[in-house]
Chain A
Amino acid sequence: MTARDRRGVTIGVLLFALAALLPLASDSYFLSIGVTIAMYTALATSWALFSGPTHYISLATAAFFGIGTYTTGIGIEYMPYWLTLPIAAVIGAVLAALVGVATLRLSGVYFVIFTLGLAELVRQIITWGQNVSGAKGLYVLTSITEEHIYWQLTGLSALVFLAGFLIWRSRLGFAVRILGDDEEVARHSGIHTARVKVLLFMIPGAVAAVTGAILAPRYVYIEPAIAFTPMLSFQVVIMALLGGTGRLWGPVVGVIPFTFLWEAISGTFPNQTTLLLGLSFLVIVYLLPRGFVGLIEEARGRVSRRGAFA
Chain B
Amino acid sequence: MTPVLSLRGATKRFGGLVAVNELDFDVAEHEVLGLIGPNGSGKSTTLNLISGALPPTAGTISLRGSVISGLPAQDIARRGVARTFQLVRLLPSMTVLENVMAGAVFGHRRRWGHDAEAQAMRVLDLVGLSRRAQAPVGSLTYIDTKRVELARTLAGEPKVLLLDEWLAGLNPTELEEGIALIRRLRDEGRTIILVEHVMDAIRSLCDRCVVMSSGSKIAEGETEEVLNDPGVIEAYLGVEEPAHA
Contact = CB atoms under 8 A, between A and B. Distances in A.
B102 A193 contact: no
Contacts of A186: 74, 102, 106
A191 interface: yes
B224 to A, nearest CB: 33
A181 interface: yes
Interface in B46-91: 51-53, 72-74, 77-78, 82-83, 85, 89-91
A171 interface: yes
Given A174-B102, A174-B105, A175-B106, A187 B77 contact: yes
Given A175-B106, A182-B91, A185-B102, A190 B156 contact: yes
Interface string A189-224: 111110000000000000000000000000000000
A297 interface: no
Interface string B204-242: 000000000000000000000000000000000000000
Interface string A155-185: 0000000000000000100110110111011
A188 interface: yes
B93 interface: yes
A187 B102 contact: no
B156 A189 contact: yes
A177 B102 CA distance: 10
Interface SS majority for chain A: helix
Contacts of A193: 74
A190 B89 contact: no
Nearest to B81: A188
Contacts of A177: 91, 93-94
Contacts of B106: 171, 175, 178, 186, 189-191
Interface residues of B, number: 28
A186 B74 CA distance: 8
B92 interface: yes
Contacts of B103: 189
Contact of B74 (A171, A180, A190): A190
Interface string A58-102: 000000000000000000000000000000000000000000000
Interface of A: 171, 174-175, 177-178, 180-182, 184-193
B152 A189 contact: yes
Query: Top 6 A-B pairs ranked by shortest CB distance?
Result: A190-B77, A181-B91, A190-B106, A187-B73, A190-B78, A189-B106
A193 B83 CA distance: 17
B107 interface: yes
B156 to A, nearest CB: 7
B17 to A, nearest CB: 23
A154 B107 CA distance: 39
Interface string B93-125: 110000001110111101010000000000000
B107 A189 contact: yes
B102 A171 contact: no
Interface in B119-158: 152, 156
B46 to A, nearest CB: 15
18 contacts: A171-B106, A174-B105, A177-B93, A178-B91, A178-B102, A178-B106, A181-B94, A182-B92, A185-B89, A186-B106, A187-B74, A188-B52, A188-B53, A188-B74, A188-B83, A189-B107, A190-B108, A193-B74
A189 B106 CA distance: 6
Contacts of A192: 74
B104 to A, nearest CB: 9
A251 B106 CA distance: 30
A188 B51 contact: yes
A187 B91 CA distance: 13
A192 B105 CA distance: 13
A189 B73 CA distance: 8
Given A186-B74, A189-B74, 6 more contacts: A171-B105, A171-B112, A185-B89, A188-B73, A189-B106, A190-B107
A171 B73 CA distance: 19
A182 B87 CA distance: 13
A184 B152 CA distance: 14
A188 to B, nearest CB: 5
